Amino acid sequence: MNVELLQYNPDCEKIVAAAAKLCYSSSEIDGILNGLDREKTISFIDRLMSLGHESPIEHIIFTFGIEGVSRSLLAQITRHRIASYSVKSQRYVNEGQFEYIIPKEIEADEKAKAIFVKAMEDDEKTYNELTAILQEKHYKAFLADGMDEKKAKTQAEKKAIEDARYVLPNACETKMIATFNARSLINFFHHRCCERAQWEIRDLACEMLRLVKEVCPTIFRVTGPRCVSGPCPEGKMSCGKMQEKRKIFLES
């Protein structure tokens, strides 16, 4: 897995403090940033977070480049709908030699890993066979319709992999660019930094949190699973590690 923070708002915490300042004072827009030194910026943000007034942090956004993750993770992260995603398309990109993600528990067991790797190799072989059969069929049909050879070949491959991709596994590697505003990102961390989240998306969320803490330490200071700043919401399904998790996320 590789995660990079590609872009974020310059002076992101100052923007949030300015928005908060506007909410709680009669400041004019022309001078809204005046006087917002580091101390006052932190003060405004601390007040916002303590009041649960989170709408001002929607003004700042973070764009991540993510690769080396599975299509299984993709299905989970896109459930966080207040975000924007651009993902490598299996419809336009030939996956004839696809990379794949091996779950940690399978990686750690020699017998399980051997079975898993064989399944991936079989999937790749099946994908390539289907692609070849369908591509030849479509190529002939396009030529019969009067399409020139070069275009027919390109269009035949595209049409073939549209259907061949149905045999690709959840383990198939993908990459994406994802953009969140800070409020949506905190919600993402609440759910996906939790011990009950699946290991892969939890690893991703924790790395994303580490990156944003470097550029916005005040906003994300008390962020992570919900138990970091309050009671665990999981009830009987709690991992029972609340104190341990608070130590990890508050000191990181």
N- to C-terminal Cα separation, the chain: 20
The alpha helices in 36-109, defined as continuous H runs, are 38-51, 71-77, 104-107
Residue 58 per-residue DSSP state? G
In sequence order, the β-bridge partners of residue 172 are: 100
Residue 192 annotated among the catalytic residues of the structure: yes
Distance CA 104, CA 92 (A): 30
**Nearest-CA neighbor of 223 among 182, 180, 195, 171?**
182
Residue from 192, 196, 221, 246 carrying the catalytic annotation: 192
Distance CA 37, CA 20 (A): 14
**Active-site annotation, residues:** 192
